[in-house]
Amino acid sequence: MKQKLPFILEIIWLIVMIVGLIAAVHKTIDYGFAESIMLYVIAGIAGLMYVWRRYMRKLQEKNKARK
């Protein structure tokens, strides 16, 4: 389970990013950009967290392979 946890967290951040981006685009269409900027920020932060978690998981797997 410990080896699967980083991958699961990575997927969760990816899902949060996709859902946030879809919600932001939908709200932009209905109400305009000024009303939906916070959803874009949330999607952006989730995207950064996804990239960071992926990098950390790959680094961890690379270090395990060396040992």
pLDDT in tens, 54-66: 999 899 888 888 8
CA distance 26 to 57: 32
pLDDT in tens, 19-54: 999 999 999 999 999 999 999 999 999 999 999 999
Evaluate the CA torsion angle 37, 38, 41, 46 in order and state its sign: negative
pTM of the full structure: 0.85
Domain ranges (residues) in the chain: 5-62
- Number of Cβ within a 10 Å radius of residue 21: 17
